[in-house]
Each structure stands twice: as structure tokens, then as C-alpha cells.
Amino acid sequence: MCLVQKYNVPGPRYTSYPTVPYWNNDTFSLIKWKKSIKKNFEESNDSEGISLYIHLPFCEYMCTFCGCNKRITKRHDLELPYIRAVLKEWQLYCDLFEGRPNIKELHLGGGTPTFFSPKNLEFLINGILRKGNIAKDHEFSFEGHPNNTTEEHLKALYDLGFRRVSFGVQDYNPTVQKAINRVQSFENVKYVTDTARAIGYTSVGHDLIFGLPFQNLDHIEETIEKTMLLKPDRIAFYSYAHVPWIKGNGQRGFSESDLPKAPLKRAMYQKGKEVFEKNGYVEIGMDHFAASSDALCEASKKGKLHRNFMGYSSSKTQLMVGLGVSSISDSWYGFAQNVKGIEEYQSLLENNIIPVYRGHILNDEDLIIRKHILNLMCNFSTSWNTTTEKFSELPDVLIQLKEMEADDLLIIESDTIQITEKGKPFVRNICMAFDLLLKRKKPETQLFSMTV
């Protein structure tokens, strides 16, 4: 059996460990969460600062591939009440902090942040920054939709300290664009990319996806060729995550048989990797390529890459507060997720309640495994030479890793594993060998997208 077939199984993307379906919600409470936030704020605010993620959930049109939490609407009168709720949530967190937060990272995701008017985004960001200090070497970034990002958006956010933007491109082929209900021209992408650069943004990223309905190798080549004309500083090259059981109608705009099969999907990834590397990009962790001048590449070289719910980042903060519907916060010792419904979110905040509805407090074993999985996802290696890195089920994990070593996916040394070039596309499978919770209780239904 070929490796793609052998290792193409449902598996997490490890933006957290434990992964969300394995959180122990029964032992989680808002009181414990607040305690965990306070503890971590004291530990991390002065040294590294904190990160903020703000989820802005509105989009005007539904892309049928989309796995994000969003509300499709053309009602822009929803912007201000939503922003007021986010600012209230931020106030409730600031009330827990002993002192003013030093904001090191701030990311606007969605949904579509550029659905909001520049004026309303200014109101939001000013309201956030008013309660904190901007940390030295801060990194403020946002996700923009090429069809509705204007020069005014780019200027307004630049003036507030944003220097990094990523644009959703996906694929340039008209057949694929029609199938995913996302018709957008190269000219729009070029316009927003050039405008961002002219204003002074130092990192402009493009998101591409392989494995979309009707996509073939020619489409991938065409998309990458166009992408190379614009030379983004970062490229997210995502494997299409087909999870229709979670997202309902959004992903049912095409049928299973329209999707490329695993071997073709892997060939698409290989094609992308080959062309990106030929053009000087470096593969960073999973799904990402960065120009050698980009901060992500620098961080990767220095072993300073970090991964959280926002994806990869060049700076590590232990505390990440997620504001807005469905956002996940991470206090290192615990995770908490906000409610997903906009009305419920706003109503809880009107009543001064932090709107989390589930979470997990990490135990000692979780913390050890979390570290190994982060190491693998960020550095393609991990080691267990100190007692704080060892765990009782390590011998069983090693048996599984030996089989992967026989497939040339990794090299095992006395107390270290190093993922090989051939093993990099299988990093999710390698992490799964360490995922004790997944091994102890296999899911009864499919919870995760396929690893290829």
C-alpha cells in the first residue's frame, strides 16, 4: 500500500492539545477559567505580553468550502452592536487583570473583518488599545477579503499599527471559483496586494487551498503561477478540510465525487511545494511557506515558531484572549471557547457574563503532551531528555513511531525524533502517535478532516 493511502485517516490539525472534542467540559467552570487567566496574566504580561484574537463573523456571501464560523448577511447595521459586545467582553477580561495588559499580538479574523467599515474598525481597535499598552515589537494583523478590502481599510488599520495582512485567494480557476461560490479576479488580488505594500505593510500573505471541488493539477499550476507574479511574503497552502458534518449546508454546494482523491491531492501539495521552494520560499510548519525575509521564516530558523488557534506566529505569548463569537482563549493552563450564536453572545455580555460555554483545564500529562505536539508542529522534532518531558506511555508511542521510521517519515535517536523531508506532509499523523487522549478513546463518528 502506498504511504498516502496508509496514512490518510481522519486526524486533528493540532491548533490545540487536547483537541476541542477531547476537552473535559464536565470539570471546567467559569470560576476555574477566571483563576487560570489571572494566574497566567501575572506570569506572562511583564515578560512577553499577551495576544488578542478578535473574531468578526459576518460575510456578505457564502463560500461553499468554508469551515469558519460565520453569519452570511448584507446587514451592516449589525456591525456596531457586535463591536460594543466585543468591547464589553474585553472590559470583563481587563477587570480580571492586575494591571494594564501589554498587547503583543492582535489578530482580526473571521468571517470577514473587511465586512466592517474602516470607521467601525477604528472604533473597535481604539476601544481595545485604550485599556492596554502596545508592547515593543508588537504584531498586529488581519484577514482581508480581496473583493471588499479598500484602500481606506488598509490605511485605517495601518495607522492603528497593523503591518501584516492575509488575503483569501483560494484558487484562480473560473470552474473552481464557481463551484465554491467565490468569483474573484486576479486584478482584485493584485490591487489589494499592491495597495497594502504601497501603504507600508511589511507582510502580505495569500491563502491558497488544494483539494477543492473540480480542482486539478493544471488549476494548481495556474494559481501558483499567478501567485508568484505578486510574490506574497507568506503563503498559507491549506489542504481543503472537508467537514460537512460540522458546517451543515455551507459545504454541500457540490458532491463528494467532485473532490480530488487523496493521491491527486498529495500531488497538488508536492507541486506547490516544488514551485514555492524554487522561488525561494521556505516551508514553515504545516501548510505554510514564507519568503526568507519574512518574520515567520526568521522565527522558524531560530526555533521560535509558535502555533495557536490563529495558526503559526513568530512570537510566543502564554496568554491569548479570544474575543467574539466562537473564539477560543488559551491561558496555557486552560482553554475556553465562547458561545457561537451572535444573539446569545450579545445577550450574555449585556448581563456582564464572560460568554464562554465550554473549556478544558490542562493536567500535568496534558501539558507534557501539548509541548511535544507543539514541538512537532513548529520544529518537526521533539525530545524527552528531561523528566518534565517524559510520560508513562512513551514506550508505546515509540513502538508506533518505529513503524513510521521504517517508512522513512522520521529518525529516532536515544531521546529525540526528527521528522524527515518525506515525513513533513505526515506531521499530523506523527502528532497522533503522541495524542494519548485520542488513542485512549477512538471517536465513534468522524470528528476530524482526513490528514491528506
Ligand X SMILES: C[S@@+](CC[C@H](N)C(=O)[O-])C[C@H]1O[C@@H](n2cnc3c(N)ncnc32)[C@H](O)[C@@H]1O
Binds 49, which of ligand SF4, ligand X, none (CB < 5 to 8 A, cut-off by type)?
Answer: none
Binds 209, which of ligand SF4, ligand X, none (CB < 5 to 8 A, cut-off by type)?
Answer: ligand X
Q: Pick left, alpha or beta for residue 197 (phi over 0 → left; psi -120 to 50 → alpha; otherwise beta).
A: alpha
Return the sign of the alpha-carbon dihedral for residues 202, 47, 367, 405.
positive
Burial, 126: exposed, middle or buried (Cβ in 10 Å; 0-12, 13-18, 19+)?
exposed
Binding mask 168-187 for ligand SF4 (x = CB under 6 A): x-------------------
Phi, psi at residue 78, to the nearest 5°? -80, -15
Binds 241, which of ligand SF4, ligand X, none (CB < 5 to 8 A, cut-off by type)?
Answer: ligand X
Question: Minimum CB separation from ligand SF4 for residue 70, in Å?
Answer: 5
The conformation of residue 355, written as its DSSP 8-state character, comes to: -
Question: Minimum CB separation from ligand SF4 for residue 208, in Å?
Answer: 12
Q: Residue 4 or residue 59: which is nearer to ligand X going by CB?
A: 59
Beta bridge pairs of residue 139? 105
Other residues' Cβ atoms within 10 Å of the Cβ of residue 416: 12
Contact with ligand SF4 (CB under 6 A) among 112, 177, 314, 315 = 112
CB-based closest residue to ligand X: 168
Question: Minimum CB separation from ligand X for residue 261, in Å?
Answer: 16
Interacting span for ligand X (CB under 6 A) from 64-72, 130-138, 406-414, 415-423: 64-72
Q: Does 189 bind ligand SF4 (CB under 6 A)?
A: no
Nearest to 276 by CA among 205, 378, 212, 341: 205
Contact with ligand SF4 (CB under 6 A) among 11, 49, 110, 423 = 110
Other residues' Cβ atoms within 10 Å of the Cβ of residue 99: 12
What does the block give as the cell for 47?
515578560
Task: Tell me the residue type at 140.
Answer: F
The secondary element (H helix, E strand) that includes residue 284 is: strand 281-284
Q: Does 68 bind ligand X (CB under 6 A)?
A: yes
Interacting span for ligand X (CB under 6 A) from 61-69, 187-195, 320-328, 338-346: 61-69
The conformation of residue 115, written as its DSSP 8-state character, comes to: G
Other residues' Cβ atoms within 10 Å of the Cβ of residue 233: 24
Interacting span for ligand X (CB under 6 A) from 44-52, 171-179, 237-245, 293-301: 237-245
Binding mask 115-154 for ligand X (x = CB under 6 A): ----------------------------x-x---------
What does the block give as the cell for 205?
500573505
Binds 18, which of ligand X, ligand SF4, none (CB < 5 to 8 A, cut-off by type)?
Answer: none
Question: Minimum CB separation from ligand X for residue 59, in Å?
Answer: 6
Interacting span for ligand X (CB under 6 A) from 27-35, 63-71, 150-158, 328-336: 63-71
Please, which residues have CB within 8 angstroms of residue 50's CB and are 6 or more apart in sequence? 41, 44, 101, 102, 103, 104, 105, 317, 319, 320, 321
Peptide bond just before 232 cis, omega within 30 deg: no
Contact with ligand SF4 (CB under 6 A) among 55, 107, 145, 372 = 145
Q: Does 55 bind ligand X (CB under 6 A)?
A: no
Interacting span for ligand SF4 (CB under 6 A) from 88-96, 105-113, 132-140, 216-224: 105-113
Residues numbered 65-104 forming contacts with ligand SF4, rule: CB under 6 A:
66, 68, 70
Phi, psi at residue 286, to the nearest 5°? -100, 135
d(CA 100, CA 162): 21
d(CA 30, CA 26): 12
Interface with ligand SF4 (CB under 6 A): 59, 62-63, 66, 68, 70, 110-112, 145, 168
Interface with ligand X (CB under 6 A): 59, 65-68, 109-110, 112, 143, 145, 168, 170, 207, 209, 238, 240-241
